[in-house]
Each structure stands twice: as structure tokens, then as C-alpha cells.
């Protein structure tokens, strides 16, 4: 309501600015004229002459010139100086007043209602600090903790609180940073190492990278029974193509797990996956069956063959962005960073025409740690 | 609510501008005093509403109201208060609002202090001024509205581009705009005069103070921008011939020409047609500059806006105003009467020489700035026209101008005596030769051109002094007489001499900076010492520090000369997490007019860091010269002759200020 | 030596034309000698740009390609299709990073190697050198979020 009152008063002031001068009937207003300028120029010539800045002959010539201008100006000044106040001129003012009274408020209202947001309250920063805790969005709380950490980057507890929130928001890179800081500032514990490894794996789109693996190993070295580290150690084995190892690790984990543990399902599902045999680069079931019966060395070659087949297929038809991501990930798992990068490049060229796919590809690649 | 008040105030200002664009000019046409008299209150009201709008936006920034999209994009709650103020115009929308504010400000100034103008001319000027205001208010409201709101409001803002979080930014754009936009008054005067069809010597007298005021601001604005680039960009350069810099330099060149040709017009009523054209061109170049910077057609340091809709809008404004004014000019200018005659060798002749070289130089800069755009539009080839082009074209044109400069003021009006002027400049010339020779001797083996350039600069400075000496007849009359004459000289004479002298000062700075700068770029380990131009600079190591909204790593360097510590330098590198980018903070140590300049590169893990170390002799003279130039302008502006012409009730004269 | 009005005018116009002619000459020679063409890595290979001429190369810094040794830096500029190896001596700009837009000015030593004396990086995360953006668009690697500030959450009531 206050807003409308203020806007009304502003409009009134604007109308007044038009009506007020219209009401001044022929009031005397300041007005200069060229005659005054030329008079002054003449005076200046005299001053310069008296000061010896110009010679007498020059002064005379200048005087003649200025006088000529003065005469010309005096001749026309009657025409140009002022208008006259004529009664019939009243209609001008009526039109002008009408414009001010009607057109201006109407125009202002229309334009403002088109452009403005009168129903939106202001939200100054200071006023929003007091918003009750429950009513704040996660983002705003994160922002607040972030700005706190910005000023106190040595606050390890803050990082530790923030990290799971990042994980939930899908900001895995930030989560990695936060976990690292927590480990650095609060000291390494098996739990923190495992959390760090989890964040690293999440940031790599679910791949247990060498770095993540190292973190889980450190966690297991400190605490052989750390559930998270064990689970991911199994996942690492699966992704390395050592399905039997993965199965063994997860079976052990299941045996030691409490009957009502929430993670049982996850591990059972994982176990079912390796037991039915799904290897890293997402091959067909037949391939897996074949792979089961091979020696580790043969298996590695087999996996390589699958990857090559996938690469060949994509070379002839490269429109499937997800397949490309799978290929890149497979190379990464095989530890062939250079191949992965070149596959990423080929992928970009292949889907170049399709903005949507480029975006999906770039997002995926970024998550795999290959910058776009 | 504050944002909405600001928004509505802007809308009202637009409607007031519409009325101001019609009523006063209609009043002049219809010879109706009351209608013609609406111009002044309307201009003042328009200014008040734009000012209210600007204040509202500032309030939103200061209180970090992120429900305003513009604030959200360019501010951060943790930003220091000063930068909350300056970030108001550190972005496209806000800076356009500032543009409009200054436009309205000048309109209000004409309304308040234009008492010496004939009422009809004042009314027409305000009317034309309102047309410009209409187009830019529409531009702001429709394409660059700073009051667009966000719902729900984000919790935190995105922070200001860190390059712009600097006191240089606080002052550079306002001054630049005061200059740019100030020329709109000269433009309005020209168009009003063309509409009225009457242009005479008095017109020049009236337009001169406004042009001069705009020129002073533009000079300061360019100097500030140059100094800001010098220490903030970390490359040690002070002028890059960057298109945005050129965009401010173009109106400066033609504005300088306008200042000089208006003198001829006032004194002799000659060059009328030319002066009017210059007034139109100068503001047109300001508009072109605004277009180049604001439409995003350029790639440069300043390009922080990219939006084709805006570009097309400004381009339309550009075409309408420049095209319209030039068409009016083509129609009306042939009607103007011939002015006074003069010989080629005369004060007028010298000023024509000045105008010729300034405008041609302006044209070469214009070509160099726009050629890449034109070529890309026509052939698709992408090129960059850099410093080599401008050095090869601008400098050869500037040299004759500088050399001729001391002669101009010594020539008489109508018909001058070149030989006599040369005789009076012999002392100045001798000093210049001596200083040039001394420079050559001191810098043996250095650049051959440098001593000549220094000599030229000294000639310009000594020539400016000669002008004053000659007018006062200092060494020819007995002291008391000469003193009286000196004191009796009009202030504008001192202003001219000071501004000309200042150009020499700037030139010395430029020459020394370009030819005698010493540079070391190397990786330095803590404990290392680098010697440069007689200074020993030792590196003490890196320190990390937490700023309000950034982290900073800075190096600590001790500067010694002959073993004595003369100062400490702490160049830094700041990282701004909100935007994820970083800036270099160069460290400067001033010794006299010279500076030691250090900027920090990437620190290495072993504690060493890459650094650029410069010794820049006399570099401060570049900007000191610009300050003095502005001072000369101010001195001229305070001359009473530029203010008379008004009826003089005693109490009114106090109200006639510097504008 | 009283001159007629006509003579004076002729002198004025003559001088004016003379200065203009000189200026035109200066501009033309300078344009021939001192302009620098911009190329993408693909342009260089496809157009067979001659080694030795001064050019600008723009593209993205190839991730993983940066090798620094004190002030000497080597990196690759790519437009997604072709890479050019760049060597540079000096301090790289603040925002020089892997995967970011960059423009290097210098001389081509052979068809794939470039010695830069100036390296320009973008100035903030919303800004991409225009030439680089165009070159990338041509190769189909343009991501729209380079060009403009994201506008999510923009809402009006």
C-alpha cells in the first residue's frame, strides 16, 4: 500500500512540474541576448587596448567588426527575442495541461505495469539473515556456510558439515574439496578417508579412480571393517574386471553385516550383478558368459576387444552420446588416458551438430574429469 | 519497494522527457512564452526523477537486495561498501543509468545556469536535449533495465568482476560519461541553432563553456582510465589503442578541435559552418563510442555486455541522431552568411591548422578502430589493428601539430607575422635544442628519436611559457609594469598556456616511458636480488592473506638504492571464489615522477615466483600532464568572459558558476 | 601581397587536401604492414598460412598440454579439430587455464608450431574472445553458456 501512495505522490510531483510553468502568465524570466555578448566584446577590446595587449589599429578593426555584429543583432532582436502573450495562445496551454494531467499518468501507469514488479517486496540482505532456520532453502544455507568458510578456511568442522550437503546436491567436485579439507584440518581417520574416496568416486561419475582407491586402501589399513571402504573396494575390483575378487569382498561384507543393516540390499544387488556377470564396458550377456571362463590375462584382452568393437561401431555411427561416454569411461578404467582423451575429441566431432547431445557429452566428460 | 520506486521514477522521467521534447520547441514556434518556459522546470524535474531512480538502485546495491537481478549479478554481500557503490555502474545496465543521469544532469544545468542564453535558444536546446534523453531512457527501460526483479531472491550475489573492484573504476566511468555526455549540450546547441537558422559569434560564446566543461571531464576520464589500466591490468602499459580507449579518444580529439574552432567563431565569426559540424560530429563520436562499448561488437578488456538487441537499439539511436543532425546541417548550413576573412598566416590560420590535423588524426584513429569491424562484415576475415598501426599514422600527424602549437598564440588575428613569432620563440627553441642534446648525451647509444621527441616536448612547454612572457612583456618592461600586466592578463590566457604546457609534460612522460623503461621478467626465489636501473630489489618470500571476498598471495620485496632501503613492494594475486577468477595487483613505488612497477606471475610450489619488474622513468608525467591540461581548462572556464552575456542583477552573478 | 578571398580559400583547401592525402597514404601503408590476421588452428592448416608471418591464433587451451618451466611455457591451442603447439616466454595472464579460450599473437615457425610473444586470455568466466567463439562455432564446439551470463531464475511478477 505504501508503494502505491509513494508512486501516486511521485506522479503528482511530475504533473506539478508541467503545470507550474504553464501557470506563470508571462512572468519575467531570465534571458540573455547576443547584444549583451557583443557589448561585452567591445568592452573587452577596450580592456585589451588599455592593457597594451593589442595595438590601436587592431583594436579599431576589431571594434568595427563587433559593432557591425551588434547592429545586425539589434536589427533582428525584435523578431527573435521573445514571443508575446496573446489570449488566443491559451489553447496551447490547455493542450499542454491536458497532456500533463492525462497522458503522462496514463502513459507512466501503462509502461510501469508492463515493466515493473509492484507486488514483489524488496529483499535486502540484512533483513534476510533473520529468516527462521527451517524456512531457508538448502542453497541459502550452503551459501551461508560457504561465506563463513571463505573467511575462516581453517575451520575443518565447517568443511565436514558442508561435505555431505554437497554430495546430496550433486556438487561432487566441491564435496571432494570439502572432504580433502576436512582430512587435512581434522586429521585422517578411516571414516574420513572413506568419505573422501566416496566423493572422489562420485566426482568421477561412479568410477573408483586410482586416487579414490588409494583413499579406500588407507581407510581399510586403519579399520579393516569400514563398511564403505569395503564396498568400494569391491566396486573397484568389479570395475577392474576382477569380478571374482569383487564377489569375494562383498560376500565377506555381507557375512559380517548386521541382519538389519540398511546397506545389505545394495551389497546384495551388487553381488547379484557380478555373479550374473556384468563387466565394465557394459557388454552383452554372451560376452560376459564367455569372459567368465577366461584367465585374467585372456579376460583383459577380451575386455579390450569389446572396447574396440564399441569404438568401431561409434566410428561408423557416432550419434549416441551415451555410448561415447561409455567408451571414454572404459578407456579410463583401462588406464589409457590418452585414448580416452582422443575418444572424447572424436565424440565431440561426431555429435557436433546437436546442441543437446553436446551438452550431455560435455557434462558427462566433465564428470569423468575430462574438461570440455 | 525501493527498487520499484526507482523503476517508476525512471518511467516518469521518460514521460517528462517526452513533454520536454515537445512543449518548449512548440513554444518557440508558436511564440508562446509560457510553453517555451516549460523547458527549465521540466529539465530539472527530469533530472530529479532520474537521480531518484539512480539513488534507488544504489540503495539496492548497498543493502545487497538480490531480488534485483542486476544487483544479484554484480554484487556480493561480503563486498566492501565502497565497491557496493561503484558496482552500481560497474555493469551494463547500471552504467547506462549513469549515462542517462548525467545527460539529465547537464539538462538541469542548462536550465539552472543558462540564464545568459536568449530564452528561445534555451528552450530549443532543452527540447533537443530531451530528444536524446527520450531515446536513452527508452534504451534503458526496454533493453537494459536495471530494475528487473527476481523471485524468489537468491541468497547470495555473483560478485563484481574483480578487475573492476578498484577505486580507479569508481571514478573513471563517471568522469568519462561527464565528458561524453557533456558534448550532448554542444550538439543540442548546434541542432537548436540550425532549427532557428541563426548562428553567429554570440552562439560560439555561449557554447564554449559547455564544451570546455565536457572536455575537462573527458580529459580527466581518459587519464583515470589510462592510469587504472596501467596498474590494474598488470602489463605496465598505459595506453593500448584498444577500441574502447579509442572510443573515448575520438570525441576528445574532435572536442579539442571544437574548442579551438569555437574561439575563431566567437572572435571573428569565421568557420561557422565548420564549428557547427564539429559540434555535431563530436557528440556523434560520443554516441559511436557508446555504441562500440555497449553493443558488444568489440572484443576487448571492457566488453562486459553482449546482447544483439541492445546493439541494434543503440545503432538506431546513432543513425537517427547523427543522420538527422547531418541532414538538418546539409539543409541549413548553406544559408549561413560568410564570416570574417583572414590570411593563411594568422591566429585563425593557426587554429585552422590545429583543426585540420586534429580532425585528420581523429579520422585515422576512427578508421583504425572500425576497419576490423567493417572488414569482418564484408569479407569475414578477422584482423586486429593494434598499436603499430596507430603509431604509424597518429604520431606523424601529431608531430607537426605539436611543433606548430607554440606559434599559434603568438600570431595576431587576421594577419600574423610568422617571422616575428619565430623570433620570439628563439629562446624556447634554444632551450629545446639544449635539453634534446643533453638527453642524447646522457642516453648515448639509446634510441635516436627519443632526444628529438624530448626536445619537441620542451619546445612545446617553453613555447607556452613564451606566450605568457610575451603578453606580459616580462623581460622588456620594468618589473612593476610587467607584473601589473601579468596580473591583468585574462585567466583564459593562463588557461591556454597551462593546457599547452601540460601537453608538453605529458609528451615527456610518454617519451621517457616508451624509450627508457627498463624491464626484467624472471622467476625469482626468496632471497634473490634483482638489479634494475640502479635499484636492488630483493625478494623476501610469499605471504597468503584472506581479504573480505578474496584470497591473496602476495610477494614481499624490499627496494634498496646504494644499500639504503627506499621502500617495500607487495605485488599480489587475488582469487575471487564467487566468480572463480583472479586478478594481479601490481605494486608501485613512486620515486619522484618515476615508478618501480612489479607484478606477480604464478607462484611456484618451491616458493619462487615469476615476476615482471619495470622501472618506468617519468611515467607519472603522463597523467600529471593530463591533470594540468584539465586544470588549464578549468582556469579558462573560470574566466568571467565566458560567463557574461546575462542581464546582471547583482545577486544573480553569484549564481553563475563555473558552468 | 594582398590575397583575394578566392586565393585564400584555395590555399586553405589545398592544405586540407594535402594533409588528407598524407594521412591517407599513412593509413594505407600502415594497414598493409601492421594488421594482424586472426586464424583458428584449422584455418592455419587448411589455408596453408605461411610460416614467418605475424598472426593471431585463437582457440581453447588443450587440457593436459601445458608444460611450464619457469617462464617458458608450452601448450596447445585447439579448436577441437586441429591443434597448434605454442611456445611462449613470459608470464601467462591471470586467467590462462586448461580448457579456456585464449588468443596468442606471434609467428608460425612451421605448419604446427607457433612462437607467441603475446598471450591474451579471457577476463572472466562469462567472457570469451569473440574470434575464438566464432572459430569454435564453426567447428561445432560452441557451448551457449560461454556467450552470455546464465539467466536461470530470471522471473518477473
Q: Flag whether residue C81 sits within 8 Å of chain A, measured between CB atoms.
A: yes
Contacts with C157 from chain A: Cβ below 8 Å = 117, 119-120
pLDDT of the residue at C154: 29
B93 vs B143: CA distance, rounded Å: 9
pLDDT of the residue at B646: 40
Distance from A75 to chain B by nearest Cα, in Å? 13
The pLDDT of A243-267, averaged and rounded, is 80
Cβ contact (<8 Å) for B356 and C30?
no
Distance from B646 to chain A by nearest Cα, in Å? 5
Domain ranges in chain A? 141-268, 285-367
Contacts with A363 from chain C: Cβ below 8 Å = none
What percent of chain C is modeled with pLDDT above 70? 75
Cell numbers of C86, please? 605454442
pLDDT of the residue at B588: 92
pLDDT of the residue at A80: 45
Cβ contact (<8 Å) for C27 and B367?
yes
Cell numbers of B555, please? 610477494
B23, B118, B201 member nearest A96 (Cβ): B23
* Residue predicted with more confidence, C57 or B625: B625
Contacts with A372 from chain C: Cβ below 8 Å = 99, 143
Cβ contact (<8 Å) for A117 and B646?
no
Distance from A10 to chain C by nearest Cα, in Å? 22
SS3 C115: strand
Residue B659: pLDDT band with limits 50, 70, 90: very low
pLDDT tens figures, A30-44: 677 888 888 888 888
Helix (H) or strand (E) holding A60: helix A56-80
| pLDDT higher than threshold 50 for residue A350 | yes
Residue A236, CA distances (Å) to A216, A306, B227, B248, B398 in order: 10, 19, 57, 62, 72
| pLDDT higher than threshold 60 for residue C157 | no
Cβ contact (<8 Å) for A349 and C80?
yes
Tracing cell 587596448 back to the chain, one arrives at A49
Pair B618, B509: CB distance under 8 Å: yes
Pair A227, A257: CB distance under 8 Å: yes
Phi, psi of B424 (to 5 degrees): -70, -15
- Contacts with A340 (C-beta within 8 Å, 6 or more apart), sequence order: A328, A329, A331, A332, A368, A370
| pLDDT higher than threshold 50 for residue B540 | yes
Q: Flag whether residue C139 sits within 8 Å of chain A, measured between CB atoms.
A: yes
pLDDT tens figures, B26-77: 988 888 888 888 899 999 999 999 999 999 999 999 998 888 989 988 888 8
B6 vs B48: CA distance, rounded Å: 11
The answer as to CATH 1.20.1740 being correct for domain A285-367 is no
B354 vs B350: CA distance, rounded Å: 6
Q: Flag whether residue C64 sits within 8 Å of chain A, measured between CB atoms.
A: yes
| pLDDT higher than threshold 70 for residue B141 | yes
- Candidate from A101-115, A157-171, B403-417, C66-80 with smallest mean pLDDT: A157-171
Helices (H), B517-654: 620-637, 650-653
Task: Compute the mean pLDDT over every residue in chain B, rounded to the nearest whole number.
Answer: 87
Contacts with B198 from chain A: Cβ below 8 Å = 76, 80
* Residue predicted with more confidence, A274 or A80: A274
B161, B364, B521 member nearest C71 (Cβ): B521
pLDDT of the residue at B343: 84
| pLDDT higher than threshold 60 for residue C5 | yes
Which residue from A minimizes the CA distance to B149?
Answer: A117
Tracing cell 624509450 back to the chain, one arrives at B515
The pLDDT of B359-365, averaged and rounded, is 95
pLDDT of the residue at B19: 94
The pLDDT of C48-67, averaged and rounded, is 84
Tracing cell 530539472 back to the chain, one arrives at B44
Q: Flag whether residue A28 sits within 8 Å of chain B, measured between CB atoms.
A: no
Interface of A with B in 190-219 (CB under 8 A): none
Residue A295: pLDDT band with limits 50, 70, 90: low
* Residue predicted with more confidence, A138 or B139: B139
Tracing cell 607487495 back to the chain, one arrives at B570
Cβ contact (<8 Å) for B385 and C134?
no
pLDDT of the residue at B47: 97
Residue B630: pLDDT band with limits 50, 70, 90: very high
Let me know if the fold of A141-268 is the same as that of A285-367: yes
Q: Give the dihedral sign, CA B643/B645/B650/B655.
A: negative
The pLDDT of B524-531, averaged and rounded, is 90
Q: Most C CBs within 10 Å: which of A123, A318, A352, A356, as the mutation test of the C interface?
A: A352
A128 vs C3: CA distance, rounded Å: 81
pLDDT of the residue at B323: 94
Residue A294: pLDDT band with limits 50, 70, 90: low
Nearest CA among C101, C34, A213 for reference residue B394: C34
Q: What's this model's pTM, rounded to 2 decimal places?
A: 0.77
Q: What count of CB pairs under 8 Å joins A to C?
A: 29
- Candidate from A176-180, B8-12, B359-363 with smallest mean pLDDT: A176-180
Cβ contact (<8 Å) for C157 and A117?
yes
A1 vs A363: CA distance, rounded Å: 47
For chain A, the C-alpha Rg in angstroms (whole number) is 41
SS3 A119: coil
Residue A25: pLDDT band with limits 50, 70, 90: low
DSSP string across A5-57: HHHHHHHHHHHHHHHHHHHSTT-------HHHHHHHHHHHHHHHHHHTSS-HH
| pLDDT higher than threshold 80 for residue C133 | no
Q: For B519-537, what is the HEC assignment?
A: EEEEEECCCCEEEECCEEE
Cβ contact (<8 Å) for C91 and B602?
yes
pLDDT of the residue at C3: 63
Cell numbers of B592, please? 619522484
pLDDT of the residue at A79: 44
Phi, psi of B507 (to 5 degrees): -60, -40
Which residue from C minimizes the CA distance to A356?
Answer: C143
Cell numbers of B121, please? 535558444
B63, B116, B154 member nearest A124 (Cβ): B63
Contacts with C140 from chain A: Cβ below 8 Å = 348-349, 352-353, 358
Q: What count of CB pairs under 8 Å joins B to C?
A: 138
Q: Give the dihedral sign, CA B364/B369/B373/B379.
A: positive
Cβ contact (<8 Å) for C143 and A345?
no
| pLDDT higher than threshold 70 for residue C148 | no
Cβ contact (<8 Å) for C153 and B154?
yes
Instruction: Give the strand pairing for C35-39 and C54-61.
Output: parallel
Cβ contact (<8 Å) for C63 and A359?
no
Residue B138: pLDDT band with limits 50, 70, 90: very high
Q: Flag whether residue A371 sits within 8 Å of chain C, measured between CB atoms.
A: yes
pLDDT of the residue at A163: 85
Cβ contact (<8 Å) for C125 and B397?
no
pLDDT tens figures, B233-288: 777 788 988 888 899 999 999 999 999 999 999 988 888 889 999 999 999 999 99
Cβ contact (<8 Å) for B393 and C30?
yes
Tracing cell 571514478 back to the chain, one arrives at B171
| pLDDT higher than threshold 50 for residue B12 | yes
| pLDDT higher than threshold 50 for residue C150 | no
pLDDT of the residue at B619: 94
B9 vs C31: CA distance, rounded Å: 49
The pLDDT of B424-434, averaged and rounded, is 94
- Contacts with A347 (C-beta within 8 Å, 6 or more apart), sequence order: A314, A318, A321, A324, A325, A327, A328, A361, A365
Task: Compute the mean pLDDT over every residue in chain A, rounded to the nearest whole number.
Answer: 77
Per mean pLDDT, which of A118-122, A281-285, B38-42, B299-303 is the most reliable? Answer: B38-42
Q: Flag whether residue C157 sits within 8 Å of chain A, measured between CB atoms.
A: yes
pLDDT of the residue at A29: 61
The CATH T-level fold of domain A141-268 is 1.25.40
Which residue from A minimizes the CA distance to B33?
Answer: A83
Contacts with B5 from chain A: Cβ below 8 Å = 3, 6-7, 10
Q: Which ipTM value was assigned to this complex?
A: 0.83
SS3 C120: strand
| pLDDT higher than threshold 60 for residue B652 | no
B293 vs B244: CA distance, rounded Å: 6
pLDDT of the residue at A343: 84
DSSP state of B309: H
A7 vs A5: CA distance, rounded Å: 5
Beta strands of B98-203 (E only): which ranges?
none
| pLDDT higher than threshold 80 for residue B490 | yes
Residue B642: pLDDT band with limits 50, 70, 90: low
Cell numbers of B44, please? 530539472
| pLDDT higher than threshold 60 for residue C130 | no
Cβ contact (<8 Å) for A117 and C139?
no
Distance from A350 to chain C by nearest Cα, in Å? 10
* Residue predicted with more confidence, C30 or B377: C30
| pLDDT higher than threshold 60 for residue A26 | no
| pLDDT higher than threshold 80 for residue B332 | yes
| pLDDT higher than threshold 70 for residue A85 | no
Cβ contact (<8 Å) for C26 and B397?
yes
Pair B351, B264: CB distance under 8 Å: yes
Q: Flag whether residue A60 sits within 8 Å of chain B, measured between CB atoms.
A: no
Nearest CA among B356, B358, B250 for reference residue C17: B356
Greatest extent of chain B over all pairs of C-alpha atoms, in Å: 82
Residue A129: pLDDT band with limits 50, 70, 90: low
Cβ contact (<8 Å) for B304 and C5?
no
pLDDT of the residue at B354: 94
Cβ contact (<8 Å) for A117 and C80?
no
Which residue from C minimizes the CA distance to B401?
Answer: C19
| pLDDT higher than threshold 90 for residue B454 | yes
C93 vs A124: CA distance, rounded Å: 36
| pLDDT higher than threshold 80 for residue B480 | yes
Cβ contact (<8 Å) for B44 and A17?
yes
Interface of A with C in 89-118 (CB under 8 A): 117
| pLDDT higher than threshold 80 for residue A322 | no
pLDDT tens figures, B202-231: 899 999 999 999 999 999 999 998 998 888
- Candidate from A258-267, B131-140, B243-252 with smallest mean pLDDT: A258-267
- Contacts with B471 (C-beta within 8 Å, 6 or more apart), sequence order: A53, B485, B486, B489, B493
| pLDDT higher than threshold 90 for residue B575 | no
pLDDT of the residue at B281: 96
The pLDDT of C53-57, averaged and rounded, is 85
Distance from B502 to chain A by nearest Cα, in Å? 24
Amino acid at each position: 500500500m505504501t508503494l502505491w501512495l509513494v508512486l501516486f505522490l511521485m506522479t503528482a510531483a511530475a504533473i506539478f512540474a508541467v503545470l507550474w510553468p504553464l501557470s506563470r502568465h508571462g512572468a519575467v524570466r531570465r534571458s540573455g541576448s547576443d547584444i549583451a555578448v557583443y557589448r561585452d566584446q567591445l568592452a573587452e577590446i577596450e580592456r585589451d587596448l588599455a592593457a597594451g595587449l593589442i595595438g590601436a589599429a587592431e583594436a579599431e578593426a576589431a571594434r568595427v567588426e563587433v559593432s557591425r555584429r551588434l547592429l545586425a543583432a539589434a536589427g533582428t532582436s525584435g523578431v527573435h527575442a521573445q514571443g508575446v502573450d496573446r489570449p488566443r495562445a491559451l489553447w496551447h496551454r490547455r493542450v499542454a495541461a491536458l497532456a500533463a494531467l492525462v497522458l503522462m499518468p496514463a502513459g507512466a501507469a501503462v509502461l510501469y505495469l508492463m515493466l515493473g514488479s509492484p507486488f514483489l517486496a524488496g529483499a535486502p540482505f540484512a533483513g534476510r539473515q533473520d529468516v527462521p532456520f527451517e524456512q531457508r532453502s538448502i542453497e541459502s544455507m550452503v551459501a551461508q556456510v560457504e561465506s563463513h568458510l571463505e573467511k575462516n578456511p581453517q575451520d575443518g568442522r565447517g568443511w565436514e558439515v558442508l561435505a555431505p550437503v554437497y554430495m546430496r546436491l550433486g556438487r561432487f567436485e566441491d564435496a571432494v574439496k570439502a572432504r580433502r579439507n576436512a582430512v587435512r584440518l581434522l586429521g585422517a581417520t578411516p571414516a574420513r578417508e572413506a568419505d573422501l574416496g566416496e566423493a572422489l568416486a562420485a566426482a568421477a561419475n561412479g568410477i573408483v579412480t586410482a586416487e579414490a582407491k588409494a583413499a579406500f586402501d588407507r581407510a581399510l589399513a586403519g579399520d579393516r571393517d569400514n563398511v564403505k571402504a569395503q564396498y568400494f573396494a569391491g566396486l573397484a575390483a568389479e570395475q577392474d574386471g576382477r569380478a571374482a575378487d569383487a564377489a569375494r569382498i562383498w560376500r565377506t561384507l555381507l557375512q559380517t553385516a548386521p541382519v538389519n543393516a540398511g546397506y545389505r540390499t545394495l551389497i546384495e544387488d551388487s553381488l547379484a550383478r557380478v555373479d550374473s556377470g556384468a563387466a565394465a564396458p557394459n557388454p552383452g550377456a554372451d560376452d560376459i558368459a564367455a569372459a567368465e571362463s577366461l584367465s585374467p590375462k585372456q579376460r583383459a584382452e577380451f575386455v579390450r576387444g569389446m572396447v574396440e568393437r564399441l569404438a568401431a561401431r561409434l566410428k561408423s555411427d557416432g550419434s549416441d552420446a551415451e555410448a561415447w561416454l561409455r567408451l571414454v569411461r572404459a578407456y579410463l578404467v583401462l588406464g589409457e588416458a590418452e585414448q580416452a582423451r582422443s575418444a572424447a575429441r572424436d565424440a565431440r566431432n561426431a555429435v557436433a551438430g546437436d546442441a543437446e547431445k553436446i551438452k550431455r557429452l560435455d557434462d558427462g566428460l566433465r564428470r569423468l574429469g575430462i574438461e570440455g | 519497494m525501493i527498487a520499484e520506486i526507482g523503476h517508476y521514477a525512471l518511467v516518469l522521467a521518460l514521460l517528462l522527457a517526452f513533454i520536454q521534447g515537445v512543449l518548449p520547441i512548440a513554444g518557440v514556434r508558436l511564440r508562446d512564452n509560457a510553453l517555451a518556459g516549460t523547458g527549465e522546470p521540466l529539465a530539472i524535474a527530469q533530472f530529479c526523477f532520474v537521480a531518484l531512480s539512480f539513488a534507488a538502485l544504489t540503495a539496492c546495491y548497498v543493502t545487497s537486495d538480490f531480488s534485483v537481478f542486476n544487483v544479484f549479478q554484480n554484487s556480493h554481500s561480503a563486498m566492501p561498501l565502497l565497491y557496493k557503490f561503484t558496482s552500481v555502474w560497474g555493469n551494463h545496465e547500471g552504467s547506462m543509468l549513469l549515462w542517462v543521469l548525467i545527460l539529465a544532469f547537464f539538462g538541469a544545468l542548462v536550465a539552472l545556469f543558462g540564464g545568459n542564453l536568449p530564452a528561445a535558444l534555451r528552450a530549443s536546446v532543452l527540447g533537443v536535449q530531451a530528444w536524446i534523453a527520450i531515446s536513452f531512457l527508452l534504451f534503458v527501460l526496454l533493453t537494459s533495465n536495471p530494475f528487473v526483479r527476481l523471485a524468489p531472491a537468491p541468497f547470495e550475489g555473483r560478485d563484481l568482476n574483480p578487475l573492476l573492484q578498484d577505486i580507479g573504476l569508481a571514478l573513471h566511468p563517471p568522469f568519462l560519461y561527464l565528458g561524453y555526455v557533456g558534448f550532448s549540450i554542444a550538439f543540442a546547441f548546434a541542432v537548436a541553432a540550425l532549427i532557428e537558422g541563426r548562428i553567429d559569434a554570440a552562439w560560439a560564446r555561449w557554447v564554449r563553456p559547455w564544451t570546455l566543461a565536457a572536455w575537462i571531464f573527458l580529459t580527466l576520464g581518459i587519464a583515470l582510465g589510462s592510469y587504472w589500466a596501467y596498474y590494474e591490468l598488470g602489463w605496465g602499459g598505459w595506453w593500448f589503442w584498444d577500441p574502447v580507449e579509442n572510443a573515448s579518444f575520438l570525441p576528445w580529439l574532435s572536442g579539442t578541435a571544437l574548442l579551438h574552432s569555437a574561439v575563431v567563431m566567437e572572435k571573428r565569426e569565421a568557420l561557422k559552418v565548420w564549428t557547427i559540424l564539429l559540434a555535431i560530429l563530436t557528440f556523434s563520436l560520443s554516441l559511436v563510442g557508446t555504441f562500440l562499448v555497449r553493443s558488444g561488437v568489440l572484443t576487448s578488456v571492457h566488453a562486459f555486455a553482449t546482447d544483439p538487441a541492445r546493439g541494434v537499439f543503440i545503432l538506431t539511436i546513432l543513425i537517427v541522431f547523427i543522420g538527422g543532425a547531418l541532414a538538418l546541417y546539409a539543409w541549413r548550413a548553406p544559408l549561413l552568411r560568410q564570416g570574417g576573412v583572414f590570411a593563411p598566416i594568422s591566429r585563425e590560420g593557426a587554429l585552422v591548422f590545429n583543426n585540420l590535423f586534429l580532425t585528420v588524426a581523429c579520422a585515422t584513429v576512427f578508421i583504425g578502430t572500425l576497419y576490423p569491424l567493417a572488414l569482418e562484415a564484408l569479407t569475414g576475415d578477422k584482423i586486429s589493428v593494434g598499436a603499430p598501426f596507430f603509431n604509424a599514422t597518429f604520431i606523424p600527424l601529431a608531430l607537426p601539430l605539436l611543433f606548430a602549437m607554440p606559434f599559434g598564440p603568438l600570431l595576431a588575428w587576421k594577419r600574423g607575422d610568422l617571422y616575428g613569432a619565430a623570433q620570439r620563440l628563439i629562446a624556447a627553441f634554444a632551450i629545446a635544442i639544449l635539453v634534446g642534446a643533453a638527453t642524447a648525451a646522457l642516453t648515448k647509444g639509446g634510441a635516436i628519436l627519443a632526444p628529438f621527441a624530448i626536445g619537441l616536448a620542451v619546445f612545446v612547454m617553453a613555447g607556452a611559457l613564451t606566450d605568457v612572457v610575451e603578453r606580459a612583456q616580462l623581460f622588456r618592461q620594468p618589473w612593476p609594469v610587467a607584473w601589473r600586466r601579468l596580473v591583468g592578463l585574462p585567466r583564459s590566457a593562463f588557461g591556454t598556456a597551462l593546457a599547452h604546457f601540460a601537453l608538453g609534460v605529458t609528451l615527456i612522460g610518454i617519451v621517457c616511458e616508451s624509450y627508457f623503461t627498463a624491464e626484467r621478467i624472471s622467476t625469482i626465489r626468496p632471497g634473490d636480488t634483482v638489479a634494475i636501473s640502479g635499484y636492488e630489489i630483493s625478494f623476501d618470500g610469499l605471504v597468503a592473506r584472506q581479504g573480505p571476498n578474496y584470497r591473496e598471495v602476495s610477494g614481499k620485496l624490499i627496494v634498496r638504492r646504494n644499500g639504503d632501503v627506499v621502500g617495500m613492494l607487495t605485488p599480489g594475486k587475488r582469487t575471487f571464489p564467487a566468480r572463480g577468477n583472479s586478478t594481479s595487483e601490481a605494486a608501485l613505488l613512486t620515486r619522484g615522477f618515476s615508478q618501480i612497477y612489479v607484478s606477480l606471475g604464478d607462484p611456484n610450489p618451491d616458493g619462487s615466483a615469476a615476476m615482471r619488474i619495470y622501472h618506468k622513468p617519468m611515467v607519472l608525467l603522463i597523467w600529471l600532464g593530463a591533470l594540468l591540461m584539465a586544470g588549464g581548462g578549468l582556469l579558462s572556464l573560470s574566466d568571467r568572459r565566458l560567463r557574461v552575456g546575462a542581464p546582471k542583477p547583482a545577486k544573480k552573478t553569484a549564481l553563475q558558476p563555473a558552468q | 601581397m594582398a590575397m583575394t578571398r578566392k586565393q585564400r580559400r584555395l590555399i586553405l583547401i589545398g592544405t586540407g587536401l594535402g594533409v588528407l592525402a598524407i594521412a591517407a597514404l599513412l593509413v594505407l601503408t600502415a594497414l598493409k604492414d601492421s594488421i594482424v590476421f586472426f586464424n583458428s588452428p584449422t584455418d592455419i592448416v587448411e589455408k596453408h598460412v605461411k610460416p614467418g608471418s605475424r598472426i593471431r591464433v585463437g582457440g581453447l587451451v588443450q587440457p593436459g598440454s601445458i608444460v611450464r618451466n619457469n617462464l617458458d611455457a608450452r601448450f596447445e591451442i585447439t579448436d577441437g579439430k586441429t591443434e597448434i603447439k605454442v611456445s611462449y616466454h613470459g608470464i601467462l595472464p591471470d586467467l590462462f587455464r586448461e580448457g579456456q579460450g585464449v588468443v596468442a599473437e606471434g609467428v608460425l615457425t612451421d605448419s604446427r608450431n607457433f612462437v607467441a610473444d603475446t598471450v591474451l586470455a579471457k577476463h572472466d568466466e562469462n567472457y570469451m574472445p569473440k574470434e575464438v567463439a566464432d572459430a569454435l562455432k564453426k567447428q561445432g564446439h560452441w557451448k551457449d553458456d560461454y556467450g552470455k551470463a546464465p539467466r536461470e531464475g530470471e522471473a518477473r511478477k
